[in-house]
Structure 1
Amino acid sequence: MEELYPATPVRADGMLDVGDGHRIYCQDAGNPDGKPVVVLHGGPGSGIAPVARRHFDPAAYRIILFDQRGSGRSTPSAGDPDPDLARNTLWHLVSDLELLRERLRIERWQLFGGSWGSTLALAYAQTHPTRVSELVLRGVFTVRRRELDWLYRGGAANLFPAEWDAFLAPLDERQREDPLEGYSELLHSADRAMRERAAIAWSVWEGATVALLPQTSFVDQYSNPSFALNFARLAVHYFRHGAWLEEGQLIRDAGRLAGIPGVLVQGRYDAVCPPITAYQLHRAWPDSTLRLTEGAGHAVSDPGILAALREATDGFR
């Protein structure tokens, strides 16, 4: 953890009404006159992590964080008894991000995101390229069918067979034919116990695969019922719709990032978001640098990841 900056307190926070009945929780930290950066959390559905503020020199950066729709302290929560997720899509999040930039009167900002956060960063940057100064992305994920099939239709099961069996356990034979659809049914069941069992099984699968070496802390975090239901519902909602992207769109449209420098930090042994995606994005985006980190998986705490991220943020400050 020595690669992180000291804990940076929140300087200001509040709720932003983004329409459609949604209000997102936002934080502002660091130097109010510093270089603006916005942190895009993963999941979707994981919410703000306080440690994320520590990737940046607080004397040089103005650090913005927010809970995406349905996540963390934003309202309504995807974990509510009967959530309406129709107005919670990737393109709603892109619009929310642009509204937040306008509200904060920021001309251009750096985007910093890992896993699902990299998806949102790419979608926003390709939609609003003139508003982006740089991108720092970790564990690149573009929601292509091959990426979803790897994690949720048996690819990663070759590396984690016992954990895959536990992931499939709540599903009946019919539902196992398409786990995303099967989990969607269970997570919106009228039976609370069934909802919670499914949410924990879904979330623990990610907790079990995220780090290069097993870490009980991840499994413990993801198995918390209040976290798991919110996390699982949003992830299934987004992934069964392909995040409302055309197949391969974010790599196909990487040319829209021309002139925007970026750093892609990728664990060599990332079992959640395998390196092929970061490599293909890098090839399609000449202004990017690929930092393939040996001895690391998907977790931000895996060896070498924090150091590579700090090198990137220090380099852009």
Structure 2
Amino acid sequence: MQRSPSLPEVSAAGGRRGLYPVVDPFNSGWLQVGSGHEIYFEECGRQDGKPAVVLHGGPGGAINPTMRRFFDTERWRLALFDQRGCGRSRPNASLEDNTTWALIEDIERLRVHLGLEKWTVFGGSWGSTLALAYAITHPDRVEALILRGVFLLTRKELHWFYQEGASMLFPDAWERYCAPIPPEERGDMITAYHKRLTSRDRAVQAEAAAAWSQWEGDTISIRGPEARPAKFDEIDFAVAFARIECHFFANGGFFPKDGWILDNVDKIRHIPAWIVQGRFDVVTPLQAAWSLKTAWPQARFEVVWDAGHASTEPGIVDALVRATDQALDVAPRA
């Protein structure tokens, strides 16, 4: 396949690579995956292009058109989907049979539904967690991995962001995050929020969801709260996001033990991989990516010095676009 003459937009920040142009899906729909869930999916790019799947963050986030733009869709066949209970998937905000293992099998159902043998898996934040867990479970279906803002979903990471650590860098935002929780319950913020986000009272859910989502939005970028995705301010999105995210975190990601991903790196060591990490990422600090890189020295590893957690920061965009371009040259494995 010849290289497309189209080039991505170039940001003004030192000639860095920018996002590819906006594209529309050529296919979309809902796929029934069991337990009453239907996941929304879409495909973009060339129908005979190199297959890839995009895994959004959260848990509880959703896909958006910008996610398509990290790929040269004149060469890629790109699949994106909203995970259970998220985005346009149905029913919204449902926690029923909503676990890491259910999502892994949903990825497999989608792959089979689209008639694909293997694909490159692209994920950031929680999307990196799910990408790694999927690859460990189904290594024969993964051609390459592109990971951003690595999150291993360990107790240490959860404690840093939701209990003590990031709170010392953002005391003003932390105060807002603590506001819905009585002082006597603040010794375990995830448990306190889980109680409220699973309440039958929609008003209680909404208050907790707004504060939970704002905390993540306020810390996501070194560009400040103005870089917070607009959807964090939409109450229906916030409720689904916060309910599902807290549900996963209260259950340790449903992993059989803390540190499960690092314990299973040997199963994916042969898979070509790119790791992109913001130096000043407060949501998923560099330590997790560094631990993964140390356990998996074969993976390509890049630290972006002037970036936090958001995928849309210029240095992160540049590194991810270069990674997806490089991944086009990965030869299919038998």
Bin of the TM-score, shorter chain as denominator length: over 0.9
The structure-2 alpha-carbon separation of the partners of 1:109 and 1:279, relative to structure 1 and needing over 3 Å to count, comes to: same
CA distance in 1, matches of 2:265, 2:191: 30
In the alignment, does 2:282 pair up with 1:271?
A: yes
Q: Which moved more, 1:35-44 or 1:252-261?
A: 252-261
Equivalent residue of 1:266, what SS? Answer: strand
TM-score when scaled to structure 2?
A: 0.91
- Residues 269-316 of structure 1 deviation map (CA, whole Å, 9 limit, x = unaligned): 100000010011011113211100001100112231000001000001
CA distance in 2, matches of 1:188, 1:125: 31
**Could you tell me which residue of structure 1 aligns to residue 165 of structure 2?**
155
CA distance in 2, matches of 1:311, 1:224: 33
CA contact under 8 A between 1:180 and 1:240: conserved in structure 2?
yes
**Could you tell me which residue of structure 2 aligns to residue 300 of structure 1?**
311
For residue 77 of structure 2, the aligned residue among 58, 62, 65 is: 62
Equivalent residue of 1:295, what SS? Answer: coil
TM-aligned CA deviation for residue 99 of structure 1: 1.0
Matches within 5 A, 1:1-317: 2=10, 3-78=18-93, 83=94, 85-218=95-228, 220-245=230-255, 246-317=257-328
Equivalent residue of 2:21, what SS? Answer: coil
TM-score when scaled to structure 1?
A: 0.96
Equivalent residue pairs, number: 312
Q: Which moved more, 1:191-200 or 1:150-159?
A: 191-200
CA distance in 2, matches of 1:15, 1:244: 25
Equivalent residue of 1:28, what SS? Answer: strand
Equivalent residue of 1:23, what SS? Answer: strand
* Structure 1 consecutive aligned stretches of length 4 or more whose deviation exceeds 6 Å: none
CA contact under 8 A between 1:204 and 1:219: conserved in structure 2?
no
CA distance in 2, matches of 1:304, 1:315: 17
CA distance in 2, matches of 1:157, 1:146: 14
CA distance in 2, matches of 1:219, 1:306: 16
Matched AA of 2:285 = P
Percentage of identical aligned residues: 46
Equivalent residue of 2:177, what SS? Answer: helix
CA distance in 2, matches of 1:311, 1:178: 41
TM-aligned CA deviation for residue 219 of structure 1: 6.3
Q: Which moved more, 1:283-292 or 1:94-103?
A: 283-292
TM-aligned CA deviation for residue 215 of structure 1: 3.3
CA contact under 8 A between 1:56 and 1:310: conserved in structure 2?
yes
CA contact under 8 A between 1:208 and 1:219: conserved in structure 2?
no
CA contact under 8 A between 2:219 and 2:225: conserved in structure 1?
no
CA distance in 1, matches of 2:229, 2:104: 30
Q: Return 5+ residue gaps in structure 2 as ranges.
A: 1-8, 11-17, 329-334
CA distance in 2, matches of 1:99, 1:220: 31
TM-aligned CA deviation for residue 149 of structure 1: 0.3
Matched AA of 1:183 = Y
Q: Which moved more, 1:127-136 or 1:298-307?
A: 298-307
CA contact under 8 A between 2:35 and 2:96: conserved in structure 1?
no
Equivalent residue of 2:43, what SS? Answer: strand
